Amino acid sequence: MTAAPADRDTVGPSVGRRARFEEWAERQASLVFILPATLVILGFSLFPLLVSAYLAVSRFRLGPGGFELSFVGFANFRKLLFGSEQFHFLGRLEALGPLSWAVLIGVAALLGWWLARAYRNPKTGVIGKVGRTITATVALGLTALTLTTTLAGGAFGSLMTTLFYVVVGCTLQFLIGLGLAILCAQPIVGRNVFRILFFIPVMVTPVGIAYAFRMLADMSRGPLAPIWSAFGLGELSWAADPWAARMVVVIGDSWQWVPFIFIVLLAALENQPREQLEAAQLDGASGWQTFRDVSWPAIAPTAATVMLIRIIEAFKIIDLPNVLTNGGPGIATESMTLHSFFAWRTQDLGGSAAVAYMLLFVSVVISVSFFHFVVRRARREHL
């Protein structure tokens, strides 16, 4: 002990200088534990977010000896939604045909019915009402956008391209991942070998995957070239076709992310109480019935959560389209992150921040909606 005898007499036996420091540190412990994380997030996440908001409503100009920012209100967003960048962000919009109108009205009616039901339900609070209204509005807007850029003969902008990656990619990855997890949960030989093997792609750097798939998708010199030429497609270039190019991006993305879903769902399947499966077996359920009635409800909450994570991450896609196609042909494979990056490279900081904010808005609305209407529900119903 470093405590001096004098201290002992006055304050008590164990309260020396060091002891006093220790006591002080102990009292501050609750702060010490949480403060670093809070500061880091404040400084490098929240602060930049606010700065970004400021940039999104400014115009950035390089001037002599530095740069200058001028406040321009929502001009950057106007440009994206209605102005010169509309084709780039929203896509080429065409007038809706009768079929598209029919679909749109149908969707609007469905959303309206859903909203009305929520509004009439006394249990829905103010936040619930506002949230549902936002969800419904965004859903309607995105439906209209989808119709005008597909059925009506328009073309995708970076918003629709990103959504395409998210929706098609995540669906594909979920189906394959779930399928593989089910296969691997059977009484098979070498489960661990498959488990390890299937896990590898998630570790591979996305840039590497992009190059690998560029090689594989090369229709004249890639490994599949003989197959393509057998079908007379040897001279075709997928990189020149918007849909083919997007599909190649989705395939590369799926190759990387199927393992993530696979490994979590497999663990969930293996984690089920064995006695429930055996009870189903004795009750007379076939393999498929056991899955439908016992396993699926058990893993549904995990599946919903893992999909939420995947959706959140999928919105951030950039590496694959940038390296695989450089956003091309034209802007066909440009994701919103890539769009924002390109804008930054051309010194259009305001435009870049505006795209980034639109991405934030869309991904938050969709993620939060998914959380509330899928994940929560899955947990409530299946736990």
Say whether residue 367 binds another protein (CB under 8 A).
Answer: yes
Residues 52-111 that bind another protein (CB under 8 A): 52, 54-55, 58, 69, 71
Residues 226-265 that bind another protein (CB under 8 A): 226, 255, 260, 263-264
Say whether residue 40 binds another protein (CB under 8 A).
Answer: yes
Say whether residue 288 binds another protein (CB under 8 A).
Answer: yes
Nearer to another protein, 112 or 229 (CB): 229
Supply the minimum distance, in Å, between the C-beta of residue 56 and another protein. Answer: 9
Tell me if 120 sits within 8 A of 176, measured CB to CB.
no
Binding another protein (rule: CB under 8 A), the pick from 2, 10, 186, 346 is 186
Residues 150-169 that bind another protein (CB under 8 A): none
| Pairwise CA distance, residues 376 & 371, whole Å | 6
Say whether residue 124 binds another protein (CB under 8 A).
Answer: no
Supply the minimum distance, in Å, between the C-beta of residue 247 and another protein. Answer: 15
| Pairwise CA distance, residues 284 & 296, whole Å | 17
Supply the minimum distance, in Å, between the C-beta of residue 177 and another protein. Answer: 10
Nearer to another protein, 81 or 176 (CB): 176
Contacts of 66 (CB under 8 A, 6+ apart): none
Say whether residue 347 binds another protein (CB under 8 A).
Answer: no
Options 78-86, 152-160, 164-172, 175-183: segment touching another protein (CB under 8 A): 175-183
| Pairwise CA distance, residues 236 & 240, whole Å | 9
Binding another protein (rule: CB under 8 A), the pick from 276, 328, 329, 374 is 276
| Pairwise CA distance, residues 123 & 128, whole Å | 9
Where helices occur in 204-241 by DSSP H, the ranges are 206-216, 225-230
Closest CA to 303 of 173, 197, 215: 173
Residue 380: phi and psi, rounded to 5, are -65, -45
Closest CA to 73 of 57, 90, 59: 57
Binding another protein (rule: CB under 8 A), the pick from 1, 102, 197, 240 is 197
* Cβ neighbour number for residue 120 with a 10 Å cutoff: 8
